[in-house]
């Protein structure tokens, strides 16, 4: 049975899915740089941020000294971008927060944060490899064959996928090699902070160590985003494997 989500301003959603849809539709009503001007939207976001502080945040309060306004801004990382809500406090300090996490009502686990840091360590190289494939092997129409379906896909409809082993297995193997199977040493990952969109390794040497470990193990391929679900129970047949080494 779906568990309802109740916010402190009286908003009640029958499920987390319904609450997430509410805020997704709210975000779509605004453009990048817009202030959240509707009174009810502001009230809902204020209550959602209270939920974030009480159930998700493991660092300093997102609300801080108080809420001045909310804005829609574009969050950007290495090779990705996505719109999100930002809060501007009464002292004019801004910070981002995830409405998805706030609705879920739980912080990311240590394993999830570690995996994010690992992906951030290799994301630029992954993006560069995808770009090289299209630069060198796409036809005059800019299309490449999906490694699974053979359907032709363009750059935005394609993704660079870990074929075997999956990315999660590479991360687990790296943790085992480091002796971090159960616990990651304190200070290994960047601490939560204002406007920190994503988690990274605090020590660049660890990031480089994972990058090398990943590049020695990863076998990748170009696939379409609309391809059939990939089975993780068997080793996939890779027609056009891509490797860093």
Q: What pLDDT score was predicted for residue 178?
A: 96
Euclidean distance between the first and the last CA atom of the chain, given in angstroms as a whole number: 49
Q: What pLDDT score was predicted for residue 194?
A: 66
Give the domains, in start order, of the chain with CATH numbers.
Answer: 5-104 (3.10.450.40), 110-224 (no CATH)
Q: What pLDDT score was predicted for residue 2?
A: 74
Q: What pLDDT score was predicted for residue 195?
A: 64
Q: What pLDDT score was predicted for residue 190?
A: 87
Q: For each of the chain's 245 residues, which pLDDT tens digit applies?
A: 678 999 999 999 999 999 999 999 999 999 999 999 999 999 999 999 999 998 887 777 899 999 999 999 998 876 677 899 999 999 999 999 999 999 998 877 888 889 989 999 999 999 999 999 999 999 899 999 999 999 999 999 999 999 889 999 999 999 999 999 889 999 999 876 666 667 899 999 999 999 999 999 999 999 998 766 665 555 678 899 999 97
Q: What pLDDT score was predicted for residue 180?
A: 94
Q: What pLDDT score was predicted for residue 228?
A: 64
How far does Cα 240 stand from its chain's mean position?
27
């Amino acid at each position: 049975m779906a568990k309802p989500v109740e916010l402190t301003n009286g908003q009640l959603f029958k499920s987390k899915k319904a609450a997430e849809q509410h805020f997704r539709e709210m975000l779509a009503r605004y453009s990048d740089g817009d202030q959240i001007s509707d009174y009810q939207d502001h009230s809902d976001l204020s209550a959602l941020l209270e939920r974030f502080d009480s159930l998700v945040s493991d660092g300093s309060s997102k609300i801080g000294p108080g809420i001045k306004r909310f804005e829609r801004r574009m969050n950007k990382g290495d090779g990705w971008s996505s719109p999100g809500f930002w809060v501007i406090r009464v002292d004019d300090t801004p910070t981002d927060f995830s409405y998805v996490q706030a609705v879920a009502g739980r912080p990311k686990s240590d394993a999830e944060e570690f995996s994010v840091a690992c992906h951030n360590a290799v994301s630029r190289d992954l993006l560069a490899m995808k770009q090289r494939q299209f630069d060198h092997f796409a036809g005059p129409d800019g299309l490449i064959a999906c490694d699974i379906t053979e359907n032709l896909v363009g750059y935005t409809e394609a993704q660079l996928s870990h074929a075997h082993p999956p990315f999660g297995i590479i991360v687990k193997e790296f943790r085992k090699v480091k002796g971090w199977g159960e616990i990651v040493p304190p200070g290994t990952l960047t601490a939560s902070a204002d406007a920190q969109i994503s988690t990274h390794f605090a020590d660049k040497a660890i990031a480089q160590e994972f990058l090398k470990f990943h590049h020695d193990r990863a076998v990748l391929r170009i696939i379409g985003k609309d391809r059939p679900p990939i089975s993780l129970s068997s080793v996939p047949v890779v027609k056009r494997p891509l490797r860093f080494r």
